[in-house]
């Protein structure tokens, strides 16, 4: 299991968690950047049994892209990294970007509300995609599901 090093991206909602402002925009920015392209990654550090990785797509660092677009905040937990590291570069970039008060730096309630999806989840509380596919294979009938 991997996650993007040095940044905190707003979390997309699920049936148990409300979506954070700009989560959908951040997800789409990542998706548009990586789908169908060669991705290079380097493990920057470990957090328990998960790898924190830096990701480059066609020579562009994904964390830098997200911070530049005000779709992620730099994690302060990694402040003790080597001088001149990607973390230091991201902190400097964030300092400039955050002054504009856009994206994840916005404090305007209307902007935050406008950029937070209100997703209505349906189905059983114990939803499990594998179970749906298993049940669908038992008898031929239309499958009521949304697949991403």
pLDDT for 12 equals 93
Query: Is a pLDDT exceeding 60 seen at residue 148?
Result: no
pLDDT for 81 equals 74
Stretch among 54-58, 81-85, 90-94, 121-125 having the lowest mean pLDDT:
121-125
pLDDT for 119 equals 81
Q: Identify the CA nearest to 11 among candidates 28, 2, 24, 1.
A: 24
pLDDT band at residue 90 using 50, 70 and 90 as cut-offs: very high
């Amino acid at each position: 299991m991997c996650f993007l090093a040095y940044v905190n991206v707003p979390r997309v909602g699920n049936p148990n968690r409300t979506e954070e402002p700009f989560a959908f925009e951040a997800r789409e920015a990542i998706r548009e950047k990586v789908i169908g392209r060669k991705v290079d990654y380097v493990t920057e550090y470990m957090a328990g049994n998960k790898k924190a990785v830096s990701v480059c797509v066609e020579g562009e660092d994904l964390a830098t892209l997200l911070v530049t677009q005000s779709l992620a905040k730099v994690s302060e937990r990694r402040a003790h990294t080597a001088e001149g590291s990607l973390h230091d570069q991201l902190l400097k970039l964030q300092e400039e970007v955050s002054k504009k008060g856009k994206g994840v730096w916005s404090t305007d309630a209307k902007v935050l509300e406008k950029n937070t999806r209100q997703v209505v989840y349906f189905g059983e509380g114990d939803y499990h995609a594998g179970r749906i596919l298993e049940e669908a294979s038992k008898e031929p009938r239309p499958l009521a599901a949304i697949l991403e």
